[in-house]
Amino acid sequence: MGLFADLRDSISAVTAKLFAGESEDPKRIGIYGPPNAGKTTLANRIARDWTGDAVGPESHIPHETRRARRKENVEIERDGHTVSIDIVDTPGVTTKVDYEEFLDHDMEKDEAVRRSREATEGVAEAMHWLREDVDGVIYVLDSTTDPFTQVNTMLIGIIESRDLPVLILANKTDLEDSKVQRIRNAFPQHETIELSALEGENMDEVYDRIAEKFG
């Protein structure tokens, strides 16, 4: 199974890191956040900008990403030096998955139930990776929605408890009701960068901060 192969790869990557020292390997940066925040759009934007490839399909349907997808060795050049990272696009983290929310997207019930199960497995996987396999976090939030949620608070808390470097991205600034300050207020202890991953707005600053934080 590909999953097991992935697992073994990640384990071997961790053990290799243990024995070889951390300096050589690119940092593995997890892109986390609630569903529909624009994580895959951002991952694709970064991957396309620096490698030419995409990471995975984007969609307005929640839980489009149901398995963590990795793009390895993304080399970001800033100020003459190169930062190499592995990008891990994770499924949106939530405390509740209900197939009924998929029914609004012209989906048959069986398909919706299957998608719901996969999304749940995906959240479990994302949480497990956060524990085992991530060196830093890009936390993506939809700036048109309220950031004060249980999931955001819990995830940011976990990230802080692990002392992982984290960047908070206030995405979807192209939308009218985007309120970046609300996110800054919610997590004043962290740096918040606004962007539109879809439109590619403010990506230069995003790359600057990624290089600073994870380089």
Partner 1 sequence: MPHQCTNCGHTFADGSKEMLSGCPECGGNKFQFHPSEVPDDAPDDATEEPPERPDTGVPSAVGKAAATVRDLVRDDTPVSDDATSPDDETPQTADAPETAGGPSPGAPSADDGNRDPPDATPGQSTGTDSEPDDGGDDDAEDAAQASARSEMVTADDLPERPPSEGRVVKEPDADADEPDMEALREELNEQFESIKVLAPGQYELNLMELYDREEYIIALQENGRYVIEVPETFAGSERREE
Nearest C-alpha neighbor of 69 from the set 30, 104, 102, 96: 30
How far is Cα 184 from Cα 186, in angstroms, rounded to an integer?
Answer: 5
| 51: Cβ contacts below 8 Å, ≥ 6 apart | 71, 73, 74, 75
16 vs 154 by CB, closer to partner 1: 154
Q: Does 107 bind partner 1 (CB under 8 A)?
A: no
Q: Which two tokens stand for residue 198?
A: 């879809």
Taking CB under 8 A as the binding criterion, the range among 49-57, 58-66, 98-106, 165-173 that sits at the site for partner 1 is: 98-106
Q: Does 8 bind partner 1 (CB under 8 A)?
A: yes
Minimal distance, residue 151 CB to partner 1, in Å = 7
User: Which of 9, 53, 75, 100: binder of partner 1 (CB under 8 A)?
Assistant: 100
| 103: Cβ contacts below 8 Å, ≥ 6 apart | 109, 112
Q: Does 47 bind partner 1 (CB under 8 A)?
A: no
How far is Cα 19 from Cα 42, in angstroms, rounded to an integer?
Answer: 32
Q: Does 88 bind partner 1 (CB under 8 A)?
A: no
Q: Which two tokens stand for residue 46?
A: 């970064």
How far is Cα 35 from Cα 37, in angstroms, rounded to an integer?
Answer: 6
Residues 124-143 that bind partner 1 (CB under 8 A): 124-125, 127-128, 130-131
Q: Does 166 bind partner 1 (CB under 8 A)?
A: no
Contacts with partner 1 by CB under 8 A lie at 3-4, 7-8, 11, 93-100, 109, 112-114, 116-117, 120-121, 123-125, 127-128, 130-131, 148, 150-151, 153-155, 158
